[in-house]
Structure 1
């Protein structure tokens, strides 16, 4: 009899604990960051690019997801002449706002650009062949990749610095994400992959007759 009484007491304690601490659904909620770059796959395809010449292209950056994010951009040479790559100059603007001015080899948006959900902005990218360069650049070519990354916007205006990097060649790629659970900050650890949007080929061909550039 004592055993039965003890059994019922333990059963009541278990039921009480179950009522106080109900089962928690820890299923992860996937929150994608949807970064879209609207530009030709080959942004700059320039022939006979000579000292004093310049070219401008526009890239549209869109946040098509339901989460705010901040994005960055940077360039890297993937083939061709280091000499030409390090000689070319570039500017990146958003309207009248100058975001970067300097060597193409150093081109980047080091400060994250915030972009709210379902908003977009346009970047104007200018590449210049400095007029003071001479004919030692004749016949050189370089291929440059401009990469864009998006990262979750954290409370207080910061961003998550841990990035997942994916590679691809299409203008629109699915974003990589990490799960959000109820036990973590709902914004922390929401990441997206890299979008390889544009790859430009800058050509400087030797003319049919010898020319000397001052």
Structure 2
């Protein structure tokens, strides 16, 4: 009985080793296959983080795209809104340029650039600029939008590799932000109205107080 138990345990142990070896080999092959096609971005988290854009502001950024794989590939870029708020997203302008060549300039929702290609081990740098149109009024004060740029590389046999970089743009207190140029603050009409109302209330209170005092004096004079 003990001998059979020992043999069975030994066989199970061998099977476990073979299974682990097979899984490790499969993972290694999968890792090698993934390295065949490898697109990378720098920066790779947020390209735009602009908290206080104002009408007329623009924010230029440089984005490096690298082919770190073994295959040459072509890649395409998509832009997607990641928030429910669409008013600011629909109005912002984005420009993409390769040196002096303009690839796109227009609204975020209509974003599209021609497919591009990179040889293995090569990289390129694109300049992206977000513009806050100067015609936008007070109704855009305090709005925020987030979006992602999705880069998808396509290689041989329909292989694909994707990576994305984010953007966050808002109109806050109108004091400007680092990496932003130009612009003028949105009109703060709500604050102006509140100030006028407060001033008017104070004047009414003072005027009412004066009338009450005069009335009391007249009553006192009549009593004398």
TM-score interval for Structure 1 and Structure 2 normalised by the shorter chain? 0.5 to 0.7
Please identify which structure carries the higher strand content: 1
In the TM superposition, what whole-angstrom CA distance separates every residue of 1:183-202 from its partner, at most 9, and x where no partner exists?
A: xxxx3x14122212x11110
Matches within 5 A, 1:111-126: 111-126=114-129
What is the aligned length? 150
TM-score by length of 1: 0.64
Q: Secondary structure at the match of 2:53?
A: coil
Quote the residue 1:211 is aligned against.
187
Structure 2 unmatched ranges of 5 or more: 1-28, 176-184, 190-224
Matches of 1:211 and 1:90 in 2, distance apart?
24
Give the superposition deviation at 1:143. Answer: 0.7
Of structures 1 and 2, the one with the larger relative CO (CA 8 A, separation 6+) is 1
Structure 1 position 139 matched with structure 2 position 130: no
Q: Judge conservation of contact 1:56–1:126 (CA < 8 Å) in 2.
A: yes
Over 3 Å counting, the alpha-carbon distance change for 1:65 and 1:44 in structure 2 is same
Q: Secondary structure at the match of 1:43?
A: strand
Larger Rg: 2
Structure 1 position 66 matched with structure 2 position 34: no
Give the superposition deviation at 1:80. Answer: 4.8
Matches of 1:67 and 1:105 in 2, distance apart?
32
Please identify which structure carries the higher helix content: 2
Quote the residue 2:102 is aligned against.
98
Structure 1 unmatched ranges of 5 or more: 1-26, 153-186
Quote the residue 2:205 is aligned against.
none
TM-score by length of 2: 0.61
Q: Judge conservation of contact 1:134–1:212 (CA < 8 Å) in 2.
A: no
Over 3 Å counting, the alpha-carbon distance change for 1:204 and 1:210 in structure 2 is closer
In the TM superposition, what whole-angstrom CA distance separates every residue of 1:95-135 from its partner, at most 9, and x where no partner exists?
A: 111111110222232x2101111111001000001111111
Q: Judge conservation of contact 2:138–2:186 (CA < 8 Å) in 1.
A: no
Matches of 2:119 and 2:186 in 1, distance apart?
53
Q: Judge conservation of contact 1:90–1:102 (CA < 8 Å) in 2.
A: yes
* Greater than 6 Å deviation, 4+ residue runs: none
